[in-house]
A and B are shown apart, each in its own frame.
Chain A
Amino acid sequence: MSISARFRRAVPTLVLASVVASLATAIPPAAAATPTPQEQVEAREKLMKTMGGGMKALTQFLKGEAGGPAEVKKAASDIAGVAAHDPMGVFPKGTALGVGDSAAKPALWDNWPKATGLWGDLKTASATLVQAADRGDKAAVAAATQAVGKVCQSCHEEFRQKKD
């Protein structure tokens, strides 16, 4: 068999392999191996910690304690990165209080339209924050940080049960 014929026969396999490879990268690893509810809670807490870290960096900058434009941009994009998640994936059913370290009240799922509304507010506020950070507009960063914080607070007031 000539080399070209061998190559021709191999093409479909190569195509299939690349399709499989691209599919594998398109699906986040978490979904590939269906995570346990405990793992979903852990993943959520990681996201919340990322947002918290961003908020901490922003307020430290605004208080003049630490950080500059680079830290502000990173914090803004971290928060916007979390907000880009689908709330359904962040708060899958079956991850309320009692599952692992979950602090999410069942009310979150009972009042899902309100919860997703707040997540939408988070998306809007963090997009504004990213723009303000890119412009280097301190007053706008302050206002957007406040707006993001308001969403954090509203959601926690309604749906988070602090345990310790």
Chain B
Amino acid sequence: MVLRRQSLPWMCLPVWLALAGAVQAQTPPAPAAPDGAVERGRYVFQAAGCLGCHTDEKGGGAPLAGGRALVTPFGTFHTPNITPDPTHGIGRWSEEAFIRAFRQGEGADGKSLFPAFPYPSYTRIRDDDLRDLRAYLMAQPPVATPNRPHDLTPPFGWRFLLPVWQALYLEPGPLADDPARPPDWNRGRYLVEALGHCGECHTPRDWLGGPDTGRAYAGTAAGPDGDKVPNITPAKKGIGGWSESDIALFLEMGMLPDGDFAGGAMAEVIRNSTSRLTADDRRAIVVYLKSLPPMD
């Protein structure tokens, strides 16, 4: 019950924040964020690809109001509302609570979050980017859509087991640059490993749903919606035959080197995320992917 006790102060604090927010909403329209934070946050939001999972696009749900069903081998997750609605969204989440969700996989109520929220990757995001991301989310229109409980297969639905899972697979902390590598490689690694959370789909999982790090980015047959996820390492079975401009163009418009176009989940990632990055950031991703150990 350590988690419960920890959660008490956080349950009181958000009331203050919500009140402060309400007062402010009547006066200036701009949210209480440092200059440029919302704009920078929008970029982080796109690079991290938040929109897709947190919107029930097919069901006609409002942006970020959650409710999308994610079918996985562990059961079906229903994504939560991340609009600033104080009751159903994250409107009462303090900045500290927000950062802790990403860094520690812990909700504002102190309970552990299911790693369908890809915090094993997001834990690597830097504090300043998380603050900007929160500023952007808080500037979005609140939507009062209630959250739906997940529908998971035992034992994966047992929330009390999550700290064990986290002890096994979560390495908390932002990703530090490697001074021995050039800046574009470091930027690419940050985009791939932290914001883009590419490994969540492209790295196979073991039987407990943890990443099989020995096969990082080697792809898997058990991807989202039953799709096969390709190997994206510079191997023969991966994208070793792709030129740098092939990869960059793929991330920009979804075209494969033979003129075919990506479908399914990756098409969505390209539409919501990689096509919206700067060309420099796409190139940085290419530099990092090309440096991965090839997996055949």
Contact = CB atoms under 8 A, between A and B. Distances in A.
Interface of A: 48, 51-57, 59, 63, 65, 103, 146, 149-150, 152-154, 156-157, 159-164
24 contacts: A51-B259, A52-B260, A53-B259, A54-B259, A55-B259, A56-B259, A57-B259, A59-B249, A103-B263, A149-B254, A152-B254, A153-B253, A153-B254, A153-B267, A153-B270, A153-B271, A154-B267, A156-B254, A156-B263, A157-B264, A160-B263, A161-B264, A162-B263, A163-B228
Contact of A156 (B245, B249, B259, B261): B261
Contacts of A55: 255, 259, 261
Contacts of A57: 259
B257 A56 contact: yes
Given A52-B260, A162-B228, A162-B263, A157 B253 contact: no
Given A63-B245, A149-B253, A56 B267 contact: no
Nearest to A163: B228
Interface string B219-249: 0000000011000000000000000010001
Given A59-B249, A153-B270, A157-B268, A164 B259 contact: no
B123 to A, nearest CB: 29
B263 A161 contact: yes
A154 B258 CA distance: 18
A162 B227 contact: yes
B262 interface: yes
Interface in B138-159: none
A55 B253 CA distance: 11
Contact of B264 (A149, A162, A164): A162
B136 to A, nearest CB: 25
Nearest to A65: B245
- The listed residue with most B CB atoms (<10 A of its CB), out of A150, A154, A156, A157, is A157
Interface string B251-282: 00111011111111001101100000000000
- The listed residue with most A CB atoms (<10 A of its CB), out of B254, B255, B258, B261, is B261
A52 B259 contact: yes
Contacts of A54: 259
B253 A150 contact: yes
Given A52-B261, A55-B255, A162-B227, 6 more contacts: A52-B260, A54-B259, A149-B261, A153-B270, A157-B267, A162-B228
